[in-house]
Amino acid sequence: MAGDGEFEFIRTRLLPLTEGDPAALGLADDAALLQAEPGQETVLACDSLVAGVHFLDSDTPAVVAARALRSNLSDLAAMGARPRGYLSAIAWPEALDAAWREAFVRALHREQSRYGLVLIGGDTTSTPGPLTVTLTLVGQIETGTALRRSGARPGEDVWVSGMIGDGLLGLLSARKAGTELAGALERYQAPDPRLELGLALRGLASAAIDVSDGLLADAGHIAAASACSLRVDVDTVPVSPTARDWLESGGALDALLAGGDDYELLFTAPAGCRERIAALGLSLDTNLTRIGSVMAGEGVQARWGDGSLMQPRKSGFTHF
């Protein structure tokens, strides 16, 4: 790294992000030491974000920091875990100067403070390639209570939180300056991980996943892990007024269902839990919508209100 040097950057910029947490060991050892609490399991989630793939080259340090931390936190939410800390591995291109790096660290500090976690370790390096931010989130959960993808059973309901499609519309807005779709840009730049909802769904939901690759693709992940089929009634999938306007102007619903980057929770639950789930949505001021059912079979059936099958052009995002 040019400028102050790698170790000076760690000491002066990254060390303050530990906030003195003993697990970080002052960022002076080869690894962190995390004390496991009795009756708790440790939950680990890791995602890499690459410039030009997961965020735009033109995105600001604040946007990159928010997307990096919040998208990882969404994985903890899907497991019903409480965040504890995180490790960061960042590959910096030489084209990013010290001012950009410092702005990123300040933004990362704001983000970690918002969600109550601290840096406990990691790595930093330079690269001739694109900026790459890899975060490993550490969470905790009571033993045996984690939400999994594999618990859905035929006869259960399929639910989703929030609104679907604004992540895609926000990305479209970010790519085309001057064409911002009201409210959607923020959903792309600073998604809101459903941590409280994930905690509350433990013991209520039978399976869960966060909607990152696309609603239909992520429904397929639950179906595969649970060895069953999920029917999604596409007319019931909740969309925002902005998305509704986009659809009425010629946008395609299957694009919203496959767009990803929504970071909502998709989950299944027994039909007998409907009243409790409705009450939960009210208590959290979070829209929870029943959008289908679990059936015997495999894969995902996306159906219109008249019972006919939707033929989506794709189900979601994949790297390969």
Residue 300 banded pLDDT, cuts 50, 70, 90: very high
CB atoms within 10 A of CB 23: 16
> How many residues are given for the chain?
320
pTM passes above 0.75: yes
For residues 157-163, average pLDDT: 98
* pLDDT at position 167: 94
Residue 174 identity (one-letter amino acid):
A
- Cβ burial of 284 (10 Å; 0-12, 13-18, 19+) is middle
What is the homologous superfamily of the domain 157-303 according to CATH? PurM-like C-terminal domain (3.90.650.10)
- The residue with greater pLDDT, 135 or 15, is 135
| Alpha-carbon span 131 to 124, nearest angstrom | 11
Give the three-state DSSP class for 261. Answer: coil
Q: State which H helix or E strand residue 126 sits in.
A: strand 118-127
pLDDT value of position 2: 46
Location of structure tokens 């291109």: 93
What pLDDT, in 10s, does the model give residues 130-145? 999 999 999 999 999 9
Mark the binding-site residues for ATP, compressed into ranges.
Answer: 122-123, 149, 212
Q: Region 208-229: what's the mean pLDDT?
A: 97
The chain-wide mean pLDDT, for the chain, equals 92
**Known binding residues:** 30, 47, 54, 75, 122-123, 149, 210, 212-213, 261, 317
CATH class of 6-142: alpha beta
| 174, two tokens | 């970010």
* Annotated binding-site positions for Mg(2+): 30, 47, 75, 123, 210, 213
Domain ranges of the chain: 6-142, 157-303
**Beta bridge pairs of residue 302:** 232
Residue 42, SS3? strand
Q: Is the pLDDT of residue 174 over 50?
A: yes
pLDDT tens, residue by residue, 51-82: 998 999 999 999 999 999 999 999 999 999 99
CB 226 within 8 A of CB 294: yes
- CA–CA dist 131, 112 (Å, integer): 20
Q: What is the gyration radius of the CA atoms in the chain, in angstroms?
A: 20
Residues contributing to the annotated binding site for substrate: 54, 261, 317
DSSP lists the bridge partners of residue 87 as: 121, 136
